[in-house]
A and B are shown apart, each in its own frame.
Chain A
Amino acid sequence: MSHLLRKFSKPPTIDPHRLQDGLDHLELCEMASNNHTRQQQETERFIVLQISPSLQQQEEETPLVAAATAVEDDEDLDATIPVATATAVTPAGGAARRQATASSQQETRCRSGNTDSKLMALDPLAQTIQREAASSRMDTFVQEIGKFCGKEAWDMRAKYCFIASENLPWNLPDAWWDDLVL
């Protein structure tokens, strides 16, 4: 990945809206595919195009995806990361905890249906979890989530827990949880 970071030898100019598109795209990649090589290549390519539009011309001349697979030297990371951009992030506090969801500080999250519909369309189980959670029906989907265990499945388990939580109605009483016998 250092080949990517080297391109950012100085802080790029960023359009926040384009960057939000990038975050959305990243989520889409995460959700869409179990092919992580493809996922990573797509994301790297996208970041270069979104964050540094001036590189688009270079991208057209030499496709980055092809370059990415060829470059294997991943050393001297810290020499090329845009420190100046990072140090700009110094206020006490910050945006909400999600790294890849709502963008601006002005936004207020909607509860039900918050998860991007594009993501849902790609994952039938996620669709089921979203629908059932929004209706406060937990027993079926939690059993499905419970099936994801073991080395290759923990990440999926966490993802589906996230989707379930995100789509449950607000302020469920403790009794609702306590009554679940699963």
Chain B
Amino acid sequence: MASATQCVRGEYLTDMAWEARGTGWSSTVTSQGRQEMSRLLEQSRDVLLHAASLFEEDPTPYAILQYVALGLSGRAAGEDWLAKCLVRDPYNYRALLSHSNLLMQKWYGRSAMESVDFAGRYTENKCPKNHPSQMVLISVLLEQYRDAAWSPL
């Protein structure tokens, strides 16, 4: 099966997993939804890691795996997969964006600013001018504003 097919399949399984979870706050997630999410994310992880091992130049599996880290494997796995992704593509937009999301405090961030700092380091210092990943910081800020706006707190 071609790399692109496996990436689409991994992405699809990840989508299904997050749909099973639902978009509510964690307190609203049912145990059935949680179990189904884990099952699908495990499946997605296996498909994507297999794809990553078969196609040694393609960063896309590791980029999509950020969402598996978010819902299943945790921060350490996300960092490991990000590092592997950036070896293949140093400014991969999708990976940087999704890892920034993972570093938000509502997920695995250690502070409210960690995600912004991470995105800022890349967009300000590392990405070439006019690279699409310059958009990551903007996206992170928008996400934080949006969360604040919708927060029930």
Contact residues of A between 114 and 147, Cβ < 8 Å to B: 138, 142-143, 145-146
* Given A1-B123, A104-B150, also A85-B137 (CB < 8 A): no
Q: Which residues of A contact B5 (CB under 8 A)?
A: 138, 142, 177, 180, 182
Contact residues of B between 108 and 140, Cβ < 8 Å to A: 112-113, 116-117, 120, 123-124, 129-132, 134-135, 137-140
Q: Which residue of A lies closest to B152 (CB)?
A: A91
Q: Chain B contact residues (Cβ within 8 angstroms of A): what range?
A: 35 or more
Q: Which residue of B lies closest to A153 (CB)?
A: B89
Interface string of A78-96 (1 = CB under 8 A from B): 1001010111111111111
A89/B112 in contact, CB under 8 A: yes
Secondary structure dominating the interface of B:
helix
B142/A94 in contact, CB under 8 A: no
Least CB distance from B122 to A in Å reads 12
A71, CB-defined interface residue at 8 Å? no
* Given A37-B130, A154-B92, also A26-B71 (CB < 8 A): no
* Given A86-B105, A95-B23, also A103-B150 (CB < 8 A): yes
B147/A89 in contact, CB under 8 A: yes
A43/B135 in contact, CB under 8 A: yes
A30/B132 in contact, CB under 8 A: yes
Contact residues of A between 3 and 54, Cβ < 8 Å to B: 5, 11-12, 14-16, 19-20, 22-23, 26, 29-30, 36-37, 39-40, 43-44, 47, 51
